[in-house]
Amino acid sequence: MSKKNISAAKQTKEDVNLKGTLIMVMILGVVILVFWFGIYGLFLSR
């Protein structure tokens, strides 16, 4: 990241940006589902 983009500014409740968090928790949910259904598939195949 270039230094130009770095400017400290304290976020408040009104302008808080949690887009990265949203994406990360979605990825987490997908990982859990992939694991579970992967093993469930194995269960059905045996």
> CB burial class (10 A; 0-12, 13-18, 19+) of residue 46?
exposed
Residues 4-43 that bind other proteins (CB under 8 A): 5-13, 16-21, 23-25, 28, 31-32, 35-36, 39-40, 42-43
**CA dist., res. 41 & res. 46, Å (int):** 9
Tokens encoding 20: 């990265």
Q: How far is the CB of 10 from other proteins (least distance, A)?
A: 6
User: Which spans of this chain sit near other proteins (rule: CB under 8 A)?
Assistant: 1, 5-13, 16-21, 23-25, 28, 31-32, 35-36, 39-40, 42-43, 46
